[in-house]
Amino acid sequence: MITIISSIIIFLLVILIHEFGHFIVAKMNGVSVLEFSIGMGPKLFQRESNGTLYSLRVLPVGGYCQLEGEDEENDSPNSLNNQSPLVRLKVILAGAIMNFILAFILLILLMSVSRVSTEVSDVIKNSPAYSSGIQTGDQIVSINGENVSDGEKLLQGIKESQGDLDIGVIRDSQSKNIKVTPRLENNVRKIGVNFQEEYDIKNFSLIKGFKKGVITFLNLTGMLYKFLGMLITGQLGLGGVSGPVGVVKEIGNAAKTGVANLIFLLAYININLGVFNLLPIPALDGGRAIFILIEMIFGKKISQEKEGYIHMVGLILLLALIAIVTIKDVIKLF
């Protein structure tokens, strides 16, 4: 049940913030928004205000923003198709940008209350720590006889150390001392471990959160583009891609481990949707943006009918890809 509820909330937030981006930029530029819907399917509630129908629908699986003149020719001066290329480009890109903004804010807030603990969350294979026998789950309590309780100070101590380290750990309620020889990587002494993040409002620091949030946002975005590059060049197959079923599974796992992990996953999914939507593929916002950029460069607009056919082909291919990935995810469940 927690997986279902968490998945519904996250999918709603991710899609609605995306559609709200299109909505607010369209409104700001005088483009008519015919309907802004929360959910899909039959209407439960609707209200019209300033020319826009706001509706709540029965299926809580997303939503949409219907713009006048988005997919068809329209004579209205307020329709999207009659706006300048720059206005249309801003409206099209606003959805993905809003996903990035939400992810950025979430990461800053999350990192503002985070601290690095001394619990080992990961040991890098063939690293000094791996060779010495340090394991995931070990709690490092001392270095060379000095007690440590803060992960960042622990990492700093490793960087500034000289020679071998006598590391005291607690494993399965038993104390152990392990000798580790740090390795120099890019002029920094490392032992090859990552530490568990802890989240507590007592740790709140907006300055620290902004710095760590920026770094985390850039790292996650860069990682996604690297992943896409490996897919395109054939270094990775579709086995590494998750569809809706795989995402629901990850949401369920995150929900069971705490609110902080769920918020982090929400930020990551927003970045994922933003990056994916900006790909220059027909039917996606990135594909629509390409047509507008071509118009801006060559001064000639492709007819909406021709563009519509191209987007239809892109949509069919995307749906086929989603179906393949979903089948793969379902098979993994058994």
Catalytic positions are 19
Cα–Cα distance, 306 to 296 (Å, whole number)? 18
Q: Where are the beta strands (DSSP E) in 92-153?
A: 114-123, 139-143, 146-147
The dihedral of CA 107, 108, 110, 114: what is its sign? positive
Cα–Cα distance, 71 to 88 (Å, whole number)? 12
Number of residues in the chain: 334
List, in order, residues 6 or more apart from 17 with CB less than 8 Å away. Answer: 98, 99, 102, 270
Beta bridge partners of 179: 166
Cα–Cα distance, 60 to 269 (Å, whole number)? 18
Cα–Cα distance, 67 to 82 (Å, whole number)? 12
